[in-house]
Amino acid sequence: MDFALNDDHLALRDAVQRFCNGEYPVQHRGNRETADQSSKRRVAMAELGLLGLPFGAEVGGSELGSVEVMLVATELGRALGDGAFISSTVMAGQLLARLGNTAQRQQWLTPMSRGMSVAAVALYEDGARYQWQRSLTRAVAAGQGWVLNGRKTLILNGDGATLLLVVARTTGEPGDRDGLTVLAVDANSPGVCVNGFDTLDGRRAAHINFQDVVLSADRVLGVVGNAADDVEAALDATVAALCAEAVGAVDALLVHTADHLRTRKQFGAPLAKFQVLQHRVADIAISLEMLKSMACAAAMAVQGNDRNQRMRLVSAAKALVSQKGREIGLAVIQLHGAMGMTDECRVGHYVKRLLVIGQLFGDADWHLKRMTQIY
């Protein structure tokens, strides 16, 4: 694989860096966003073309691929930025692009690319952990449409979304790969109850109940009962983007830690003069290079057509991110001392984000097991 960045990639990376430096000042990175801040930043991202980055030109997108998404996610990770980029643009956008017909893509992707709406994917359920195929949420045919009932959990940015893409069972039993369908539900529809909450890293998620939600036939994305492969592909693209975000966060942690060791003194000398601490920083730098390589490999695999290779490399990258993210986070906290976990010290915010990324969409054990099933 060729991991070299071309001039267009470098220009995109530099543009996102400038955006992040302006919208996410270093001293405020990791602070909880207000609804007004989130809305303004999302509009700014749309004006920069980031929210439509992977979409088709017919809906206002740039028709770029997973490598460009990786570059954006990395810079957002470095700045602890959000803008619902991964949950809405990548995850929900992938589902709409893969399953939606022309009218559906125009209806929902166009306002998303302009920053006028946010979509969220309602995938997981109580007791199923990462096994999204074990859906108990059901959509039953009724007249010319569908009636949706069930409960979905840990929906990223779910309480700020205007559109919910719900993975529901239309036929078969929980655990069956066949029989899953994606339905587009307006968040303000009668029967939709959203319970939002803060996550460990200061972001937002929601549990959502669907009770007798009536949907017209045009709310079905793709072929009824045949959504599993596309959900899996969208999920892999999301995980690859999360791995790239983790790379940016680790890179920022390395910079913060090196600066701290150069300025903090013990026994009359900067901490950076102590060889054992130099070795620990070197270990973090080596781990960062490993993470960069795997994030690149995952992004390129998502862009390819080999399903097994995509699944192997995405799971390999996510397992490494989950393991190294926690390991690096603990090391950085120790190198900073107790102040590392205070809100005033930025490194604590990065560590919290890495810990959350490590658990999202499958932890290290889950992805290692997935890899053994592919091989």
Range with the lowest mean pLDDT among 209-218, 276-285, 333-342, 350-359? 333-342
Q: Containing H/E element for 129?
A: none
Kindly indicate the confidence band of residue 1, based on its pLDDT and cuts at 50, 70 and 90: low
**Which residue reads 């109580």 in tokens?**
126
One-letter amino acid for residue 335 of the chain: L
Beta bridge partners of residue 226, listed in sequence order: 180
What counts of helices (H) and strands (E) characterise the chain? Answer: 10, 10
Higher pLDDT, 76 or 272: 76
> Do 203 and 195 touch, CB atoms closer than 8 A?
no
Question: What pLDDT was estimated at residue 89?
Answer: 96
Residues 87 and 128 in one domain: no
Residues 181 and 286 in one domain: no
pTM, 2 dp: 0.95
State the helix-helix crossing angle for 66-79 and 228-263, rounded to 10 degrees.
40
Mean pLDDT of the region 350-364: 96
Question: What pLDDT was estimated at residue 342?
Answer: 80
pLDDT in tens, 220-246: 999 999 999 999 999 999 999 999 999
Mean pLDDT of the region 63-87: 94
pLDDT in tens, 305-338: 999 999 999 999 999 999 999 999 999 999 988 7
Reading the block at residue 226, the tokens are 């045949």
Kindly indicate the confidence band of residue 177, based on its pLDDT and cuts at 50, 70 and 90: very high
pLDDT in tens, 284-305: 999 999 999 999 999 999 998 9
Query: Is the per-residue pLDDT at 43 higher than 70?
Result: yes
> Total domain count for the chain?
3
Higher pLDDT, 183 or 25: 183
Residues 358 and 280 in one domain: yes
Residues 170 and 265 in one domain: no
User: What CATH code is carried by the domain that includes residue 86?
Assistant: 1.10.540.10
- Please report the DSSP string for 274-324 in residue order: -HHHHHHHHHHHHHHHHHHHHHHHHHHHHHSS-HHHHHHHHHHHHHHHHHH
**What phi, psi does 23 have (nearest 5°)?**
-90, -25
Query: Is the per-residue pLDDT at 358 higher than 60?
Result: yes
Which of 166, 195, 225 corresponds to the end of one domain?
225
**111 CB-near residues (< 8 Å, 6+ apart):** 117
Determine, yes or no, domain membership for 1.
no
Question: What pLDDT was estimated at residue 263?
Answer: 86
Residues 282 and 218 in one domain: no
What's the mean pLDDT when you consider all of the chain? 93
pLDDT in tens, 138-156: 999 998 999 999 999 999 9
Nearest Cα neighbor of 371 from 327, 321, 318, 326 is 318
Distance CA 292, CA 120 (A): 27
State the helix-helix crossing angle for 35-47 and 7-23, rounded to 10 degrees.
150
One-letter amino acid for residue 320 of the chain: L
Reading the block at residue 40, the tokens are 């303004």
Query: Is the per-residue pLDDT at 366 higher than 90?
Result: yes
> Do 371 and 356 touch, CB atoms closer than 8 A?
no
The alpha carbon of residue 369 and the mean position of all alpha carbons in its chain are separated, in whole angstroms, by 21
Determine, yes or no, domain membership for 2.
no
Residues 204 and 91 in one domain: no
> Do 213 and 191 touch, CB atoms closer than 8 A?
yes
Residues 345 and 369 in one domain: yes
Q: Domain limits at 312?
A: 229-374
Question: What pLDDT was estimated at residue 331?
Answer: 94
Range with the lowest mean pLDDT among 91-95, 115-119, 157-161, 257-261? 257-261
- Please report the DSSP string for 252-270 in residue order: HHHHHHHHHHHH-EETTEE
Query: Is the per-residue pLDDT at 271 higher than 80?
Result: no
Residues 107 and 217 in one domain: no
User: What CATH code is carried by the domain that includes residue 204?
Assistant: 2.40.110.10
Question: What pLDDT was estimated at residue 31?
Answer: 87
Which of 190, 225, 260 corresponds to the end of one domain?
225
pLDDT > 70 in the chain, percent:
99
Mean pLDDT of the region 74-86: 94
Reading the block at residue 337, the tokens are 């001392």
Q: What is the largest CA-CA distance in the chain?
A: 80
Q: CA of 78: how far to CAs of 246, 247, 324, in Å? A: 8, 8, 16
CA dihedral 179, 99, 314, 81 (to 10 degrees): -120
Determine, yes or no, domain membership for 343.
yes
Question: What pLDDT was estimated at residue 2?
Answer: 58
Question: What pLDDT was estimated at residue 3?
Answer: 67
Query: Is the per-residue pLDDT at 26 higher than 90?
Result: no
Beta bridge partners of residue 142, listed in sequence order: 145
